[in-house]
Amino acid sequence: MHWSEAEFAIYLRRRAQELTRHLPDAQADPGTAVLAEAGLLEHIRALARRLGWLVYHTHDSRKSEGGFPDLVLCRPPSAQSPGRLLFLECKTSTGKLTAEQATWLAVLAQVPGVVARVVRPQDLGALEGWLRGEGA
């Protein structure tokens, strides 16, 4: 399929809208809804490491290309489950994606086997279950 630049821009806007929705089974937790983005990021990093995921985060991205997701998580394949590659953009409950972030997430989400999405404080319960392999 070959898209014009205008068609691709429309596709990216629509895909970005889909990616800003919460994880499927997220449960609203008023205690986590106020978690700052940095705290959310650290919580996810610690949780993922405890559950056996490799975790990467660029600490200072000021000289990097804009929009790349905050976290890259990778779990190698095992006898019990296939490998997984996850790109997460951490946002507060009301934080909005930049155009560059939306583009990265939309393009990454098209790669077979890759999961790319926005995660917010209210998504932590669903994300933890997903990282444990529940509903994967």
Model confidence pLDDT, tens digit, residues 66-77: 899 999 999 988
CATH fold for domain 5-21+30-131: Trna Endonuclease; Chain: A, domain 1 (3.40.1350)
124-131 and 37-50 are packed helices; what angle lies between their axes, rounded to 10 degrees?
A: 20
- CA–CA dist 133, 135 (Å, integer): 6
Structure tokens at 62: 């000021």
What's the confidence (pLDDT) of residue 65? 87
What's the confidence (pLDDT) of residue 35? 63
3-state secondary structure of 83: coil
pTM above 0.85, yes or no: no
**Burial, 11: exposed, middle or buried (Cβ in 10 Å; 0-12, 13-18, 19+)?**
middle
Q: pLDDT (tens digit, 0 to 9) for every residue of the chain, 136 residues total?
A: 666 666 665 665 666 555 545 444 344 444 444 468 888 889 999 999 999 999 999 887 788 888 999 999 999 888 877 889 999 999 988 899 999 999 999 999 999 989 999 999 998 888 898 888 876 5
Q: What are 82-85's contacts with CB under 8 Å, separation 24+?
A: 82/113, 83/113, 84/113, 84/115, 84/136, 85/113, 85/114, 85/115
Q: What are the φ and ψ backbone dihedral angles of 7, each rounded to 5 degrees?
A: -65, -40
Domain boundaries, the chain: 5-21+30-131
Task: Classify residue 82 by its DSSP letter.
Answer: -
